[in-house]
Amino acid sequence: MPDDIIYGRNPVWEILKDGKPLNKVLFQNGLKGEQVQKILDVVRERGIPFQFAERSVLDRISGGGRHQGLLVYTAPRAYAEVGDILALAQTKGEDPFILVLDGVEDPHNLGALLRTAEAVGVHGVIIPKRRSVPLTGVVAKTSAGAVEHIPVARVTNLVRVLQEMQRAGCWICGADASGTDVFATDLTGPRVLVIGGEGKGLGRLVRESCDQVVALPMLGAMTSLNASVAGAVLLYETLRQRLAKG
């Protein structure tokens, strides 16, 4: 069983009381009781993702442990707010440089992207709560410690957040094979770079929310790159242009 999973009613309640960061809470179908309701109320109040599942699912995840119908996935660090990311850029006196990941589901890709994002000076990374890998131990390990140095916000609605970024003066740039050549595109100024998930790319509504869409030239037989590799190239091209502009 992974180290980031905790189960049992009392351990789950204690971790909630301590305010430790959580990725998701799993309740057994039909679970009742005063303590269970109290836990559910706190989870809803804090906006922590949760779902109900059959006992067999919890049995499998807990490795046959005495889960008492409750199981939580912990996060290696607390999530930031979107406002914190914008405030960080303002504090540094820099144009916002933000990475948004639309449905990246591989923890190794997320960890690698966090590592690159931290290296190029991204002010923060935004991921969705649904259909995306959260911060986990594997992500933290793959990031080689970068997860401790870059704010990561986890949001319910990416489209709404992108609109918020536009109102804040940011230019939204999505990565998609149908886009224009990234090396011929101006990526300077307040910038939000949006990378799609493995195999699926950008969601339709997310793509429609972008101000511009760019692509990497593909001259060989392959038509796409790994999400973390493509993201790294786009992040460093953005950094190159920012440095050139001064």
Where in the chain are the domains? 5-74, 82-245
Domain 82-245 matching CATH 2.40.10.10: the answer reads no
Question: What pLDDT score was predicted for residue 2?
Answer: 55
Query: Which segments in the chain show pLDDT lower than 50?
Result: 1
pLDDT in tens, 72-87: 999 988 999 999 999 9
User: Which class for 222: exposed (0-12), middle (13-18), buried (19 or more C-beta within 10 A)?
Assistant: exposed
Cβ contact 76:140 at 8 Å: yes
| pLDDT score for 3 | 58
What pTM was computed for the model? 0.90
Q: Characterize 75-114 residue by residue with b for buried, 16 or more Cβ atoms within 10 angstroms of its Cβ, and e for exposed.
A: bbeebbebeebbbbbeeeeebbbbbbbbbbebbbbbbbbb
**Residues in a beta bridge with 152:** 125
Neighbours of 186 (CB within 10 A): 11
CATH number of 5-74: 3.30.1330.30
Sheet order of strands, 50-53 included = 5-7, 70-74, 22-28, 50-53
